Structure 1
């Protein structure tokens, strides 16, 4: 299928061949007929992409600080590599999509094949959208009218926060697409509406819809004009839909407001607020968040859990429906806002002039027939069955920034990559010479030329995919964790026959620093302290969901259980864990794990998220036979009491490259598994035992 994407690095906008998505649970698959180009939002993205590195940095000072902190802890070159990889990510454009449902995912009963729907889908011939971001289109509303649904809901949410009543005077600053829609909806709400813009054509269009126009470029004084219209009282509310870098708009909004007036920001402006202007009138100020309640809430958007209507009257989906109803009943007229209609293949007619054109709304028209294949072939490389071909499932940051560079260095034969949306997977395939990009991971399992499958998806998919791959006779590499529950682990153990290898991405044991320490201390009983300065992750991120990410102990701290197992040369016998906070069973961000090993060694894992980012992220201390080894952030290892060794210095090296080099060697030439399967199982059980220990407040023995 065709999809419009943009490069953050260069700002170039292209129509890319992407594998069509598959319908997912809780979602509907839509064949697009129309989409609307939101010129304001997309113009900002394109202009940001075209700006140079210095300009990009100036626009994102918070990101610059993160980069500087990363340089301090990880070094210059790894940081620069991460920054340039991030800039190289393709960005799918668009969020105003209309089309026909062609498939319905499991758990969806609200939609049927053939329904016409509006959604926040991108500029693509096919989109897979969660059900709470999709709305039915009334029969009397055309597809191109329905394309205004999502952008209209942005304005509608600003109105809801402003809470206007019949007869109030509301000023809309900025009469671009969102501003015009906002103003017209306010008129339908019974308000007297004043629109402010510098474009005479937009003022004229607004006036035709019953809106009072003010144009500073024509000599109008905005504040004096509003005060004159309101007989000196001032506006009851101001909704700002403009985009500007200075603070003039927020100051004018305060000056034109009545006492205790409301100001709502929908657009992007400077926010150096004058306390005096707000204090004297007791003004309220609020920033509107996109389409409405539910936005950026994973439970609502991805899992389809709706807010009860009696408690949250207007969610983003119900805002979609309200806009569609306003169009259906004639209260919102949008056809006059359409500046041009362009075929998808002629998209450059819009984007090549997006910074200079006077368009308000541009409609992209899609072909009736389009390629719905789930796989795109990027090159015709031929691969021989059983000769080390590799397929990758998952195209997240780990795949892009760590795995693929390491595989490239190991001269791996990369055949296929699978990604849910197809965009990121296709970009990686092009960069690293992978033959195929697909959205159907089963095609990788069914491909006889693929011998090794690398799994880097979200954690809740690991066990299922490992079992599927083993049952298909593939060698499997899966990023940690192997499984999230005992039941999942049991299915893997049952599927594992030993004829194929199963490797978990416990890369740290392959770091030259850990290899050096292991060589120095041997297998004698020892005490090992591993400290992870993990950093804070917001509570709504999927890693914290025990059913999806497994939490940070099962999902991440398992790395250090394996590392200590490798150093001690023994398996975990018993586990005890304690965590900080009022509800430690629900928050394992700050926890200490005590490990008892079969050979008498002791391990301590301090996994903390409340430390400074300027401090080293990882530190290992090993104490044995009056000798001590200290490893700092996989860059420096210092030895005390060792004959002939005092220090090892390298660039940041967590063992990824060596791990994948050894994995490719085993795949092509045969040999023992990189990590014994009994150690992998023991480590996984130990991570489960840590959570059980926290719940029972006792030691848990590994069986």
Structure 2
């Protein structure tokens, strides 16, 4: 299928062929009929992509701050790869469309195949021929409403939520500053609410359009016409509400809002305009400044948007989905008219040319629609059934000159910045297929790393006998299930941590090993492969007595909205990451833990974990989120036999022996090497030779069980003994 994408680094816009998205549970697959270009939001994104690197940095200071923090934690080269990987990727455009339901996922009962729906979301209602849309981001289109009008649903919801934040009442007077697409809709919604509206915009054509849609008066904000109209309509008191629907870098809208508001008036920011509030003007009138967050309550909440968990109507009357349905109802009943706003309708095949005309000013428009073919590319063929190897057959070594063929399930940030760069340039490796649920991610990975094929069909990959190994680099909640499927299909498997989030999930993996006889499994516990740590362990030498280990992990705070915070589905943060540190200690001590004790200080998420080992060694693991951002992430001390090994965040290591000698590594000149490259090399060698996996299965299982035992230890307040899983 085709999708409009943009390379944020180069600014290139293109109509890309990408795999058809899969129809996951909790949503529907929609074939797009019309999608709407947001001439404000999308053109701002397109313009930013055309800026220099300095211009991009100036326009997104929040992202610059994240880059600085990443440099402190991960070093310049790793951060550079991560940033450039994001910049040099295709990103989607679009967030408002109307289309026909083509497939219905499990758990969906309110729509059926063939139903017309309006869809929302900058990850789900894209300019693409097919989109997978979760339940709370679509709404059925009322009978009689034209699909091209229903495509305005998302933008209409943004305007509707802004009006709700202003709390208009019958007989009030409102000022709408900025008469672009959102402003024109706000004018109509206010008029339908019994509010008299004054519009302000420097474009006379937009002023004329707003007047035709219900505004009492309109004019250039720099002229006296707007102030005169406000004075006449309010007897000189000022407007009750001001809606900021303008963009750009001028502070004029904010100043005009203060000048024309009544005492204790309401100012609602809907657009993305400059907000240098003139303190005296806002203070003297005690103005109520409010922000309108996109489509309404539920926006940016992954449990609402992705998992379909609705808010009770008694507590949250108007959610994203209810706003969408309400706006569609207003359209169907003729209370809002979007047809006068349609400046241009372009065939989807002309998408790139249309954006260019908008950007260059050759096409002046309030709203532009893409019209899609009635039938686009047919869905991909039904998957080939998985081919399972004989469970009793030994693993065969490959010929030295035959490449090891790899498939990736998942192509997110970690896969594309920390794994694939090492594999794409490795001799004797062929990147065969990348599988993602989002079609564009697969296409990006295929383009950047040279995969032979990209798809959203996992079964076809598992059933392909030509593929030797499968990398599972998806969200944590899917690791165990995908690993089990790949093992049952006879593949060697590299799964990123964690292997499992529950004991039940771990049992699923072990059952797959038992049923298939296939134990060709490696988990991405890469730190034991780090060259610096390997050298320090060698310098420390053989240990004879019990050891004491202290491992401080300064994990730091997560950004709001991070999927790591979705503990209901993705497990706790430690369950997802903690296996790294347990595995590192176990490798240093050359043993697996026998018990786990965990405690957490009251009021925060910091964890103190004590691991005990068969020979009496102990390891104290402090996993903290409340530390200073500038402090190193990982520091480790191992003490035994009169010797001390120290590791400083994979930048420097040292060993002090009992004879007063000291070995100190040279500071790494480039970056922290946490062992990803060496681990991948070891995995590829094992697949090629048929030899043992780099880390014994027993160790992987025990590390996972120890990580899971932390939660049980917190709940019980006592040490948890580790019994070997069956």
TM-score with structure 2 length normalisation?
A: 0.92
- Name the CA distance, whole Å, in 2 between partners of 1:218 and 1:541: 43
- Name the CA distance, whole Å, in 2 between partners of 1:544 and 1:405: 28
Contact 2:203/2:220, CA 8 A, preserved across alignment: no
Does 2:639 align with 1:623?
A: yes
Number of the residue aligned with 1:2: 2
Once the 2 structures are TM-superposed, how far is the Cα of residue 500 of structure 1 from its aligned partner? 4.3
2:513 to 477, 496, 499: 496
2:259 to 249, 252, 255: 255
Pick closer, same or farther for the CA change 1:653–1:289 going to 2, 3 Å: same
Which residues of 2 match residues 307-322 of structure 1 at below 5 A? 307-322=311-326
Number of the residue aligned with 1:647: 665
Which residues of 2 match residues 12-161 of structure 1 at below 5 A? 12-120=12-120, 121-161=125-165
Deviation larger for 637-646 or 152-161: 637-646
Number of the residue aligned with 2:300: 296
- Name the CA distance, whole Å, in 2 between partners of 1:64 and 1:300: 29
Once the 2 structures are TM-superposed, how far is the Cα of residue 554 of structure 1 from its aligned partner? 1.3
1:506 to 510, 522, 525: 525
Contact 2:519/2:697, CA 8 A, preserved across alignment: no
- Name the CA distance, whole Å, in 1 between partners of 2:705 and 2:291: 47
- Name the CA distance, whole Å, in 2 between partners of 1:544 and 1:109: 29
Does 2:695 align with 1:675?
A: yes
Once the 2 structures are TM-superposed, how far is the Cα of residue 73 of structure 1 from its aligned partner? 3.7
- Name the CA distance, whole Å, in 2 between partners of 1:107 and 1:615: 46
- Name the CA distance, whole Å, in 1 between partners of 2:423 and 2:380: 25
Deviations 1:392-423 (A, max 9, x none): 00111111101101112333211001111110
Deviation larger for 611-620 or 642-651: 642-651
Does 2:474 align with 1:474?
A: no
Deviation larger for 567-576 or 383-392: 383-392
Deviation larger for 666-675 or 561-570: 666-675
- Name the CA distance, whole Å, in 1 between partners of 2:16 and 2:665: 50
Once the 2 structures are TM-superposed, how far is the Cα of residue 65 of structure 1 from its aligned partner? 2.6
Deviation larger for 220-229 or 81-90: 220-229
- Name the CA distance, whole Å, in 2 between partners of 1:480 and 1:44: 38
Deviations 1:284-311 (A, max 9, x none): 0111000011111112111111111122
1:274 to 274, 278, 284: 278
Number of the residue aligned with 2:578: 557
- Name the CA distance, whole Å, in 1 between partners of 2:690 and 2:663: 34
Once the 2 structures are TM-superposed, how far is the Cα of residue 470 of structure 1 from its aligned partner? 0.8
Once the 2 structures are TM-superposed, how far is the Cα of residue 223 of structure 1 from its aligned partner? 4.0
- Name the CA distance, whole Å, in 2 between partners of 1:269 and 1:39: 15
Once the 2 structures are TM-superposed, how far is the Cα of residue 387 of structure 1 from its aligned partner? 5.3
Contact 1:42/1:94, CA 8 A, preserved across alignment: yes
Deviations 1:489-546 (A, max 9, x none): 1121121145441000000000012211222333433211111111112575432444
Once the 2 structures are TM-superposed, how far is the Cα of residue 11 of structure 1 from its aligned partner? 1.7
Once the 2 structures are TM-superposed, how far is the Cα of residue 363 of structure 1 from its aligned partner? 0.9
Which residues of 2 match residues 170-319 of structure 1 at below 5 A? 170-216=174-220, 219-220=223-224, 222-319=226-323
Once the 2 structures are TM-superposed, how far is the Cα of residue 461 of structure 1 from its aligned partner? 0.5
Give secondary structure in 1 for the equivalent of 2:47: helix
- Name the CA distance, whole Å, in 1 between partners of 2:674 and 2:380: 35
- Name the CA distance, whole Å, in 2 between partners of 1:461 and 1:133: 23
Which residues of 2 match residues 324-363 of structure 1 at below 5 A? 324-355=328-359, 356=361, 357-363=363-369
Once the 2 structures are TM-superposed, how far is the Cα of residue 242 of structure 1 from its aligned partner? 0.5
Number of the residue aligned with 1:686: 706
Pick closer, same or farther for the CA change 1:687–1:201 going to 2, 3 Å: same
Contact 1:387/1:451, CA 8 A, preserved across alignment: no
TM-score with structure 1 length normalisation?
A: 0.95
Deviations 1:94-136 (A, max 9, x none): 0111110011111111111111010011111001001111111
- Name the CA distance, whole Å, in 2 between partners of 1:343 and 1:225: 42
Deviations 1:609-638 (A, max 9, x none): 111221111111111222112111111112
Contact 1:292/1:316, CA 8 A, preserved across alignment: yes
- Name the CA distance, whole Å, in 2 between partners of 1:597 and 1:540: 38
Contact 1:172/1:182, CA 8 A, preserved across alignment: yes
Contact 1:630/1:638, CA 8 A, preserved across alignment: yes
Contact 1:96/1:148, CA 8 A, preserved across alignment: yes
Give secondary structure in 2 for the equivalent of 1:665: helix
Deviations 1:657-703 (A, max 9, x none): 01101111111123221001111111011111111110000011001
- Name the CA distance, whole Å, in 2 between partners of 1:250 and 1:561: 54
Contact 1:168/1:191, CA 8 A, preserved across alignment: yes
- Name the CA distance, whole Å, in 2 between partners of 1:600 and 1:58: 56
Contact 1:233/1:258, CA 8 A, preserved across alignment: yes
- Name the CA distance, whole Å, in 1 between partners of 2:316 and 2:629: 38
Pick closer, same or farther for the CA change 1:218–1:507 going to 2, 3 Å: closer
Once the 2 structures are TM-superposed, how far is the Cα of residue 648 of structure 1 from its aligned partner? 4.0
- Name the CA distance, whole Å, in 2 between partners of 1:148 and 1:645: 67
Contact 2:5/2:16, CA 8 A, preserved across alignment: yes
Unaligned runs of 5+ residues in structure 2 are: 383-397
- Name the CA distance, whole Å, in 2 between partners of 1:41 and 1:541: 23
Number of the residue aligned with 2:457: 440
Pick closer, same or farther for the CA change 1:248–1:348 going to 2, 3 Å: same
Contact 1:101/1:113, CA 8 A, preserved across alignment: yes
RMSD value over aligned CA atoms?
A: 1.9
Once the 2 structures are TM-superposed, how far is the Cα of residue 216 of structure 1 from its aligned partner? 2.5
Contact 1:463/1:489, CA 8 A, preserved across alignment: yes
Unaligned runs of 5+ residues in structure 1 are: 377-382
- Name the CA distance, whole Å, in 2 between partners of 1:276 and 1:218: 21
Pick closer, same or farther for the CA change 1:421–1:375 going to 2, 3 Å: farther
Aligned residues: 692
- Name the CA distance, whole Å, in 2 between partners of 1:518 and 1:444: 40
Deviation larger for 571-580 or 665-674: 665-674
Does 2:541 align with 1:535?
A: no
Once the 2 structures are TM-superposed, how far is the Cα of residue 191 of structure 1 from its aligned partner? 0.7
Number of the residue aligned with 1:379: none
- Name the CA distance, whole Å, in 1 between partners of 2:609 and 2:600: 9
- Name the CA distance, whole Å, in 2 between partners of 1:684 and 1:473: 22
- Name the CA distance, whole Å, in 2 between partners of 1:23 and 1:56: 35
Contact 1:391/1:450, CA 8 A, preserved across alignment: yes
